[in-house]
Amino acid sequence: MKRIAVMTSGGDSPGMNPAVRSITRAGLHKGLEIFGIRSGYQGLVDGDLIPLDSHSVSGRIRDAGTFLQTSRCPEFVKPEVQLRALKVLEQHRIDGLVVIGGDGSLKGARALHSYGLPVIGLPGTIDNDLFGTDMGIGVDTALNTIISLVDMIRATAASHRRCFVVEVMGRGSGYLGLMTTISTGSQVAVIPEFRMNIDSIVEVLDSRSNANHNASVIIVAEGVCQGAEFMQRLTENGKVKQEVRLTVLGHVQRGGTPTHYDRLLASRMGEMAVLALISGEKGSMVATVNGKMQLRDFDEILDRRKALPGDAIRLARNIGIEIGDVVES
Ligand code: ADP
């Protein structure tokens, strides 16, 4: 293992830059040459590689986004496109690859690994929907961004005695929605893992209004429906007495300055990826399980649905959050 490449792919997440920095610095320390692939799989197929030195990643621990840039490259599912990517890596004499991204990106990484290329993946996603790791890189920052924004919304909601519906990200997962409902002191979580019960939600709002609570906040995960659609369903029968307003948090959720947790997680995972490649490991994702770093085979973690933490569901119920009914699987 003399020369390795690193790329970021799929949706950006705060912590991708600290991960690239750690891979570069740890790799250089171990005597490797490091290349950065720009714009994800598209850049790989196009041969857009740049050498990285210690200076290239200077200061990157503080930046959200990804300075290597990212893209979506739907063509990459095709074997002939994957073979083109392998040719590019061969031309640049790349011996090992680190892919930082979500579920889709790691499927691309598994495809490259299946041709014999040593590949290690890092979970770079704010959604925390990757099976096999307790946390993804960027999740903690996204959670903190959401709670600071919802705290601000709550101030105006309380001043006007309004109910706010807040749409948060998460793709098919309710992780961000559930966790931030708990940590913002919101009353209702509408998440894909549970079936919402509009009557119960109206009851919650009603009883709070009767008890002279100033404000209520409902967190709606994008994986259920758009916030506007939920608003429509909530208000269509005219039972909600309070004024209801909608805020869609949108892409600001990706842009927060990486938190201490994410900087450390990304640094540790990046270092582990380099050490893994040097020691001959391949075809796996670096995961954190109960606070410890682990390598988990792509086949063990991909194509599996990650469940929400059971203790968080219990906590939400026990402190009176309305989360709807269990969806039978
Ligand atoms: P994320 O990595 O955040 O889940 P995507 O699902 O958009 O984001 O995947 C990012 C990229 O990974 C895709 O644009 C594509 O290039 C590649 N990819 C996704 N799924 C596969 C797959 N099944 N096989 C090979 N490559 C894939």
Could you tell me which residues come within 8 angstroms of residue 260 by beta carbon, excluding any fewer than 6 positions away?
A: none
User: What pTM value is reported for the model?
Assistant: 0.97
Is the domain of 16 the same as that of 133? Answer: yes
pLDDT at 241 (0 to 100): 87
Answer whether residue 326 is part of any domain: no
pLDDT tens sequence across 185-195: 999 999 999 99
**Tokens representing 110?**
């598994």
Higher pLDDT, 209 or 233: 233
pLDDT at 239 (0 to 100): 86
Q: Is the per-residue pLDDT at 212 higher than 90?
A: no
Ligand 1 contact via 282 beta carbon (within 6 Å): no
Is the domain of 120 the same as that of 267? Answer: yes
The C-alpha angle 278, 281, 284, rounded to 5 degrees, equals 130
Would you name the residues annotated as active-site residues? 127
Is the domain of 105 the same as that of 160? Answer: no
Answer whether residue 329 is part of any domain: no
**Tokens representing 43?**
């850049």
Q: How far apart are CA 181 and CA 98, in angstroms?
A: 34
pLDDT at 328 (0 to 100): 67
Q: 107 CA to middle of ligand 1, Å?
A: 6
Residue keyed to tokens 């948060």: 168
How many domains does one find in the chain? 2
What is the residue range of 63's domain? 3-138+258-289
Q: Is the per-residue pLDDT at 208 higher than 80?
A: yes
Answer whether residue 295 is part of any domain: no
Q: 9 CA to middle of ligand 1, Å?
A: 8
Is the domain of 25 the same as that of 76? Answer: yes
Could you tell me which residues come within 8 angstroms of residue 103 by beta carbon, excluding any fewer than 6 positions away?
A: 125, 129, 130, 302
Is the domain of 104 the same as that of 130? Answer: yes
Amino acid at 163: C
Ligand 1 contact via 289 beta carbon (within 6 Å): no
- Please tell me the residue having the least CA distance from ligand 1 atom 12: 105
pLDDT tens sequence across 7-52: 999 999 999 999 999 999 999 999 999 999 999 999 999 999 999 9
Q: Is the per-residue pLDDT at 237 higher than 80?
A: yes
Answer whether residue 304 is part of any domain: no
Q: How far apart are CA 298 and CA 111, in angstroms?
A: 10
Answer whether residue 78 is part of any domain: yes
The whole-angstrom distance between residue 237's C-alpha and the CA centroid of its chain comes to 36
pLDDT tens sequence across 124-180: 999 999 999 999 999 999 999 999 999 999 999 989 889 999 999 999 999 999 999
Q: Is residue 205 a contact partner of residue 231, using CB atoms and an 8 Å limit?
A: no
Q: 102 CA to middle of ligand 1, Å?
A: 8
pLDDT at 101 (0 to 100): 98
Is the domain of 144 the same as that of 73? Answer: no
Entry field: residues in the chain: 329
Answer whether residue 119 is part of any domain: yes
Ligand 1 contact via 102 beta carbon (within 6 Å): yes
- Please tell me the residue having the least CA distance from ligand 1 atom 8: 10
pLDDT band of residue 329 (cuts 50, 70, 90) is low
Answer whether residue 184 is part of any domain: yes
- Please tell me the residue having the least CA distance from ligand 1 atom 11: 105
The sheet with strand 284-289 has its strands ordered as: 49-52, 33-37, 3-8, 96-101, 119-123, 284-289, 292-297
Q: 30 CA to middle of ligand 1, Å?
A: 30
Q: How far apart are CA 256 and CA 111, in angstroms?
A: 32
Ligand 1 contact via 105 beta carbon (within 6 Å): yes
Is the domain of 92 the same as that of 153? Answer: no
First vs last C-alpha separation in the chain: 45
**Tokens representing 114?**
């299946």
Q: Is residue 18 a contact partner of residue 110, using CB atoms and an 8 Å limit?
A: no
Is the domain of 106 the same as that of 158? Answer: no
**Helix/strand/coil (H, E, C) string of the chain?**
CCEEEEEECCCCCCCHHHHHHHHHHHHHHCCCEEEEECCHHHHHHHCCEEEECCHHHCCHHHCCCCCCCCCCCHHHHCHHHHHHHHHHHHHCCCCEEEEEECHHHHHHHHHHHHCCCCEEEEEECCCCCCCCCCCCECHHHHHHHHHHHHHHHHHHHHHHCCEEEEEECCCCCCHHHHHHHHHHCCCEEECCCEECCHHHHHHHHHHHHHCCCCCEEEEEECCCCCHHHHHHHHHCCCCCCCCEEEEECHHHHHCCCCCHHHHHHHHHHHHHHHHHHHCCCCCEEEEEECCEEEEEEHHHHCCCCCCCCHHHHHHHHHCCCECCEECCC
pLDDT cut 90: percent of the chain above it: 93
The CATH number of residue 85's host domain is 3.40.50.450
pLDDT at 251 (0 to 100): 96
Torsion of CA 176, 182, 183, 189, to 10 degrees: 50
Ligand 1 contact via 101 beta carbon (within 6 Å): yes
pLDDT at 285 (0 to 100): 98
Is the domain of 235 the same as that of 271? Answer: no
Pocket test for ligand 1, best of 45, 66, 76, 302 (most atoms within 8 A of CB): 76
Pocket test for ligand 1, best of 46, 105, 171, 253 (most atoms within 8 A of CB): 105
Is the domain of 167 the same as that of 178? Answer: yes
The CATH number of residue 183's host domain is 3.40.50.460
Q: Is the per-residue pLDDT at 88 higher than 80?
A: yes
The whole-angstrom distance between residue 189's C-alpha and the CA centroid of its chain comes to 19
Ligand 1 contact via 104 beta carbon (within 6 Å): yes
Ligand 1 contact via 74 beta carbon (within 6 Å): yes
Q: Is the per-residue pLDDT at 247 higher than 80?
A: yes
Is the domain of 116 the same as that of 29? Answer: yes
Is the domain of 77 the same as that of 29? Answer: yes
**Tokens representing 300?**
């063990």
Answer whether residue 327 is part of any domain: no
Q: Is the per-residue pLDDT at 327 higher than 90?
A: no
Atom nearest to 41 CA in ligand 1: 16
Ligand 1 contact via 123 beta carbon (within 6 Å): no
Q: 252 CA to middle of ligand 1, Å?
A: 22
